[in-house]
């Protein structure tokens, strides 16, 4: 008898718990209410409302990243999704928005931006896309040359002359290829270049010229065995590394945004 009473009590408790949970599931939460209230807006409206808070011409914090800069980007659906997620974090940190965007709103913005910026790449620009593959070689190579030269000068380590010469030659070639591909990539842009892109182009071309100058000075120093030529070569080599670093940083800003500058400045 006691067992039957216990079973009835357990069943009654389960039924009451299920009723309460059903009642709760029928009550709309704040997040659900918000999602339903924003689901009627189009992607264009959401982009204007959310993106134009930062990307406007009179914003002193991002003066070069106006609406034209946004629509000048060429990203895939996945690329825009990554950028929207990153912009959401920046907007929250800068207090342009008080709460995260809903998943539905973000998908609408991604779809709208993908459709608006989708273009058929020309054959020239398709070749230029290999710029992103070659651009890291000169940055790495010139810093390896600087490291070898520093070790040889500071500790007298016997660094093979042909190794350094070969690495510096590859630096010049890879920098020239990366710069040429970059010029092909932007060759058919109808809008004026942004300041960051213009500076990136200048730094990349400077890397080619300075690296070539360093290679010629090294050859001169080897042939003449002149101390002046040797120090001139080392100075120009450091300038080549600085130019490659500047080009790489500006390229990173163009691809990933200003997060690095914000991290450095706090």
Q: Which two tokens stand for residue 127?
A: 């070749």
Q: Who wins on pLDDT, 111 or 205?
A: 205
Which of the four pLDDT bands, split at 50, 70 and 90, describes residue 20? Answer: very low
> For residues 214 and 210, what is the distance between their CA atoms, to the nearest angstrom?
6
Tokens representing residue 157 in the block:
């380590």
Which 8-state DSSP code applies to residue 230?
H
**Structure-token match 């400077």, residue found:** 206
Domain architecture of the chain: domains with CATH:
42-117 (1.10.760), 123-265 (1.20.120)
- State the pLDDT at residue 98: 79
pLDDT (average), residues 38-66:
69
Which comes out higher in pLDDT, residue 28 or 230? 230
pLDDT at 52 (0 to 100)? 73
Q: Tens digit of pLDDT for each residue in 127-185? A: 877 888 888 999 999 999 999 888 877 777 666 777 888 899 999 999 999 999 988 88
Hey, which of 70-74, 108-112, 215-219 has the most confident mean pLDDT?
215-219
Q: Is 197 left (phi over 0), alpha (psi -120 to 50) or beta?
A: alpha
Other C-beta atoms lying within 10 Å of the C-beta of residue 204: 26
Chain mean pLDDT for the chain: 75
pLDDT value at 230 more than 90: no
Instruction: Kindly report whether the global pTM for this prediction surpasses the value 0.85.
Output: no
Higher pLDDT, 127 or 35: 127
14 token code pair:
């389960």
Distance of CA 140 to the CA centre of its chain: 18
CA atoms within 13 A on the CB side of 87: 21
């Amino acid at each position: 008898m006691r067992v039957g009473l216990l079973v009835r009590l357990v069943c009654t408790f389960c039924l009451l718990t299920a009723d309460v949970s059903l009642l709760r599931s029928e009550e709309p939460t704040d997040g659900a209410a918000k999602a339903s209230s924003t689901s009627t807006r189009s992607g264009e409206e959401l982009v204007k409302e959310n993106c134009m808070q930062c990307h406007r011409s009179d914003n002193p914090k991002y003066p070069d990243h106006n609406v034209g800069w946004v629509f000048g980007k060429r990203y895939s659906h996945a690329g825009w999704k990554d950028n929207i997620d990153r912009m959401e974090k920046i907007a929250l940190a800068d207090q342009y928005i008080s709460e995260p965007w809903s998943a539905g709103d973000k998908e609408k913005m991604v779809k709208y931006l993908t459709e608006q910026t989708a273009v058929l790449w020309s054959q020239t620009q398709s070749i230029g896309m290999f710029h992103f593959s070659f651009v890291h070689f000169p940055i790495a190579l010139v810093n390896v040359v600087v490291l070898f030269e520093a070790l040889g000068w500071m500790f007298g380590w016997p660094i093979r002359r042909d190794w350094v010469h070969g690495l510096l030659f590859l630096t010049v070639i890879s920098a020239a290829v990366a710069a040429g591909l970059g010029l092909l990539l932007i060759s058919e842009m109808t809008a004026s270049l942004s300041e960051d892109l213009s500076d990136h182009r200048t730094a990349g071309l400077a890397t080619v010229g300075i690296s070539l100058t360093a290679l010629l000075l090294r050859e001169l120093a080897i042939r003449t065995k002149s101390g002046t030529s040797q120090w001139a070569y080392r100075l120009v080599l450091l300038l080549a590394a600085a130019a490659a670093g500047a080009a790489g940083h500006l390229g990173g800003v163009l691809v990933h945004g200003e997060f690095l500058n914000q991290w450095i400045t706090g």
